[in-house]
Amino acid sequence: MTGAPITNSSLEAMKSGGERIACLTCYDAAFASVLEGAGVEVLLVGDSLGMVLQGQRTTVSVTLDHMVYHSACVSRVARRALVMADMPFLSYATEDRALAAAERLMGEGGAAMVKLEGGGELARTVARLTRFGAPVCAHLGLLPQSIHQLGSYRYQGKDDAGAARIRDDALALQDAGASLLVLECVPASLAGELAAELTIPVIGIGAGARCDGQVLVLHDMLGLLSGKAPRFSKDFLAEPGAGPLSVSAAVRRYVDAVKSGGFPGAEHTLA
Ligand code: KIV
């Protein structure tokens, strides 16, 4: 992979230049080089690895050790893509715990950014992390780590009150210093408004095509998981009419579709 390494400021420049950002989850070295070679700009070492790799029902059991291990596997081979690591469940419940978790994810794991789930209540934590040199990606909308409170994985921000809460949270987190925002499973209209209002890039998953970039769980977009795929995902390895594709070609199709605005389509989106 050639080109200067992707940083949080190059992601901001992509947003201002109108270039959409392609992000995928990635948990190991082999996929890291395939994804990077296919043009993926952000490799998210997501705690979805608990479900995808470990066969757990939720992400709650993922530990900091797991995240450090997989982040190191990915960052060891990534040369250009920005490696972002999820802070696992409750590892950022206090500011001190968050600093300690970021120290390990960035120091031992080699991540260049950490991601945490939650709203304005985390603003001070985000400010503290960024003040000490740890770039932060916020995550709003559906928060998988809160599944035991939510009861089910469902779209968020569908009514006026829910949408206003997400908007207030997004502004508070941006003001606190977040560099990036992942918006998961919210109506496309809300995500589009937020992407236009915020100065930081908004990466959507189940949030429509008007975001500044897209992320999917790698194993979903390669059709590797048994059971029903989420409505917002697409199997890029099984493109009708494309014939047999390599993993690398499928990922390139994803990157092209994100860049052109062809993915997600209306069928993947809640208006
Ligand atoms: O853990 C993960 O894979 C994520 C994505 C769903 C955004 O956080």
Q: Is the Cβ atom of 233 under 6 angstroms away from ligand 1?
A: no
Ligand 1 probe mutation, 58, 66, 86, 142, most atoms within 8 A of CB: 86
| Nearest ligand 1 atom, CA 205 | 7
Average confidence score pLDDT of the chain: 96
- The reported pLDDT for the residue numbered 6 is 97
The answer to whether the beta carbons of residues 218 and 166 sit under 8 Å apart is no
Q: What is the pLDDT of residues 55-114, one digit of tens each?
A: 999 999 999 999 999 999 999 999 999 999 999 999 999 999 999 999 999 999 999 999
Domain boundaries, the chain: 8-268
- The reported pLDDT for the residue numbered 8 is 93
The answer to whether the beta carbons of residues 234 and 209 sit under 8 Å apart is no
Task: Band the pLDDT of 2: cuts 50, 70, 90.
Answer: low
Helix, strand, coil tally for the chain in percent (to 5): 45, 15, 45
Nearest CA to ligand 1 atom 4: 46
pTM of the predicted protein model: 0.97
Nearest CA to ligand 1 atom 8: 46
Structure tokens at 135: 């770039």
- The reported pLDDT for the residue numbered 239 is 79
| CB burial string 1-28: b at 16+ within 10 A, e below | eeeeebebebbbebbeeeebbbbbbbbb
| Nearest ligand 1 atom, CA 52 | 3
CATH of 8-268, one of 1.10.260.40, 3.40.50.300, 3.40.50.720, 3.20.20.60: 3.20.20.60
Q: How far is the CA of 25 from the centre of ligand 1 (A)?
A: 7
* Mean pLDDT to the nearest integer, 13-37: 98
* Mean pLDDT to the nearest integer, 191-214: 98
* Mean pLDDT to the nearest integer, 181-204: 98
CA distances to 2, 147, 164, 226, 235 from 191, in Å: 32, 21, 12, 29, 23
Distance CA(185)–CA(140), nearest Å, equals 9
Ligand 1 probe mutation, 21, 31, 44, most atoms within 8 A of CB: 44
The answer to whether the beta carbons of residues 48 and 66 sit under 8 Å apart is no
C-alpha neighbours within 13 Å on the C-beta side of residue 117 = 19
Q: What is the pLDDT of residues 112-135, one digit of tens each?
A: 999 999 999 999 999 999 999 999
Please identify every residue annotated as catalytic.
184
Structure tokens at 143: 């928060």
